Amino acid sequence: MAGELLVARGTAYRLRFGGGADGIERMAASLRGVAFAPHRHDTYAVGLTLAGVQAFRYRGSSWHCLPGRWHVLHPDETHDGGAGSEEGLDYRIIYLDPALVQDALGGRALPFVADPVLEPTPASRAVADWLADIDQPLDDVQAVEMTTAVVDMLTQHARPARSAALDLEAVRRVRELLVDDPVRRHRVAEFERVAGMDRWAVARQFRAAFGTSPTRFRTLRQLDVARRLIRAGVPLGEVAVAAGFADQSHLTRMFKRAFGLTPAVWAAGVSGASADRVGDGGHVGAAVTEFDGLAEQGVADVQQG
């Protein structure tokens, strides 16, 4: 995706999504200035800084992630993010569904990494291999291998988890109900029937298993529908209705809370549309690393440094 970076209210960015799989997304980004407003998503986010400084707020503190270092964000934790210096920021990141983490851990509690900025280790170098060429499609074997690499990295750095009795099969049935039909608003009695437990147990165990609430999980699945339609060029008003939101303004509010960008700005960032579609500003030019310059060698270089 060649061309100029997009500019919006003094920021510049390019976003590119690579090959993924069910529950896995890989993205490369180039940013200049604060690009993402405070937001939260229901996935693990494991990213590697390639160039520049990544500055973000997370769990009440400010953090800076330098080239070669990793940042790890837990599901449903509010954060922002952008370039911490004038030279801009290049990074690559994996978004991983907590359900896959649960599968890899055999039902143990989700790992929580208290320090979100990490130095490279042998475990993280295995993850870096999966960020070197994000355009390479993932088959089912590779998806398992990548998930295992990320989970091993998380557990290496996580603090000891409290033991908890979880009925994973029960809450997975609730999760499947929401995945299969995220547009429809479900009643709590339906959750109780599907899970075979009371509503209070559903709420507690769903969050313990997947890192977020059933309501929040459903909203993110609605936004998955919305992103697919936006990429297909569907007008935002129609996207809102098709994804089950009250109207376009409702879609915009939920989208920005989840991704830190409005739907229109996100769409421009992934499509390479001109900057004047998303706000004032001129060409950024060579001052920011061009998106296609995030080469495979860059990942290897920062991990060896």
> What is the per-residue pLDDT across 115-134, written as a single tens digit (0 to 9) for each?
999 999 999 999 999 999 99
pLDDT value of residue 165: 73
Q: For residue 15, what are the CA distances in angstroms to 90, 107, 265?
A: 10, 34, 11
Radius of gyration over alpha carbons of the chain, in Å? 19
Best mean pLDDT range from 11-15, 114-118, 279-283, 291-295? 114-118
The correct CATH number of 6-163+282-304 out of 2.60.40.10, 3.40.50.300, 3.40.50.9100, 2.60.120.10 is 2.60.120.10
* Confidence band for 10, pLDDT divided at 50, 70 and 90: low
Whether pLDDT at 300 is above 80: no
pLDDT value of residue 301: 61
pLDDT value of residue 58: 96
pLDDT value of residue 131: 96
Query: Residue 158 has what DSSP assignment?
Result: P
pLDDT value of residue 299: 67
pLDDT digits 0-9 by tens, 24-76: 999 999 988 767 899 999 999 999 999 999 999 999 999 999 999 999 999 99
Q: For residue 297, what are the CA distances in angstroms to 54, 133, 232?
A: 20, 9, 32
Higher pLDDT: 99 or 270? It is 99
Please, which residues bridge with residue 90 across strands? 30, 51
Please, which residues bridge with residue 73 across strands? 45
Q: Which of 61-75, 169-183, 267-281 has the lowest mean pLDDT?
A: 267-281
Region 168-268: CATH code = 1.10.10.60
Answer yes or no: are the C-beta atoms of 52 and 96 closer than 8 Å: no
Q: Which two tokens stand for residue 269?
A: 């960032």
% of the chain residues with pLDDT over 90 = 69
Q: What is the mean pLDDT of residues 144-170?
A: 87
Q: What is the mean pLDDT of residues 78-82?
A: 93
Q: 14 in helix, strand or coil? A: strand
Whether pLDDT at 282 is above 60: no
Q: Which two tokens stand for residue 122?
A: 């042998």
pLDDT value of residue 303: 64
pLDDT value of residue 35: 77
- Relative to beta strand 24-32, strand 44-52 is unpaired
Q: Which two tokens stand for residue 161?
A: 């988890």
Residues 6+ apart with CB under 8 A from 258: 39, 40, 41, 219, 220, 223
Q: For residue 65, what are the CA distances in angstroms to 49, 57, 91, 144?
A: 7, 11, 10, 28
pLDDT value of residue 34: 62
Higher pLDDT: 19 or 289? It is 19
pLDDT value of residue 32: 81
Whether pLDDT at 9 is above 60: no
pLDDT value of residue 295: 36
Can you point out the beta strands (E) in the chain?
6-8, 11-17, 24-32, 34-39, 44-52, 54-58, 61-65, 70-73, 79-83, 89-96, 117-118
Would you kindly state where each structural domain of the chain is located, as residue ranges? 6-163+282-304, 168-268
pLDDT value of residue 248: 96
